[in-house]
């Protein structure tokens, strides 16, 4: 039963993670991707602004990230934006613990699982995820180390449901926030 739930969650997360902000996801793409390829992928959207404002995937230096609700929200927004930009490196970094659970249940490694998830995200959802934000009023702090991000907290130009994005749990592990469920 647990494997079915985990598998369903992975599929939901994969579907929900597709359309994120272009600012964060584009920077994380490999440099081999040509500008013309990216232009074709986003031909329906205006060009993305410079990525200098993208939050770091990990804390700078040896300093741990703040163990705060605000940092958890920032980290989750980073994940949403990476989904929208198809930035697999950032997606697998932030969602690594949840992806590992799914892999242990037979879904395959994060990189291949999310490559499939990216294909399931519509262009409109992808664009919406690229600029998605989180309403702090709807975030649930369970413990100082565990925060829930309900799908209702996601603010985007497209509406997301449990079936296409889902809700997530972030936990403070290894000096930063990670999606664990």
- Convert the pLDDT of each residue in 38-55 to its tens digit: 333 333 333 333 333 344
The span from the CA of 10 to the CA of 113, in Å, is 8
Query: Residue ranges of the alpha helices (H) in the chain?
Result: 2-16, 22-27, 35-41, 69-85, 88-94, 96-104, 110-120, 123-130
Mean pLDDT for 61-70 is 88
Q: Which range has highest mean pLDDT (36-50, 84-98, 159-173)?
A: 84-98
The span from the CA of 171 to the CA of 173, in Å, is 6
Written as six digits, the tokens of 120 are: 């399931």
Written as six digits, the tokens of 180 are: 């664990």
Is the pLDDT at 172 greater than 60? The verdict is: yes
Mean pLDDT for 107-124 is 92
Average per-residue pLDDT for the chain:
76
Is the pLDDT at 109 greater than 70? The verdict is: yes
Give the pLDDT confidence of 126-142 residue by residue, as tens digits: 999 999 999 999 999 99
> What DSSP designation does 146 have?
E
Q: What is the DSSP string of 3-46?
A: HHHHHHHHHHHHHHTSS--HHHHHHTS-TTS-HHHHHHHTTTSP
């Amino acid at each position: 039963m647990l494997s079915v739930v985990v598998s369903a969650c992975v599929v939901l997360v994969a579907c929900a993670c597709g359309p994120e902000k272009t600012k964060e996801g584009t920077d994380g793409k490999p440099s081999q991707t040509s500008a013309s390829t990216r232009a074709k992928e986003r031909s329906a959207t205006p060009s993305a602004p410079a990525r200098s404002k993208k939050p770091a995937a990990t804390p700078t230096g040896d300093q741990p990230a703040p163990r705060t609700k605000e940092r958890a929200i920032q980290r989750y927004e980073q994940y949403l934006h990476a989904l929208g930009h198809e930035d697999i490196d950032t997606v697998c970094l932030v969602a690594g613990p949840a992806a590992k659970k799914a892999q242990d249940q037979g879904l395959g490694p994060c990189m291949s699982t999310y490559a499939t998830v990216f294909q399931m995200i519509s262009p409109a959802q992808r664009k919406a995820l690229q600029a998605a934000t989180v309403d702090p009023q709807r975030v649930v702090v369970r413990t100082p180390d565990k925060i829930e991000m309900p799908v209702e907290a996601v603010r985007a130009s497209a509406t997301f449901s449990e079936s296409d994005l889902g809700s997530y749990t972030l936990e403070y592990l290894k000096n930063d926030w990670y999606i664990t469920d």
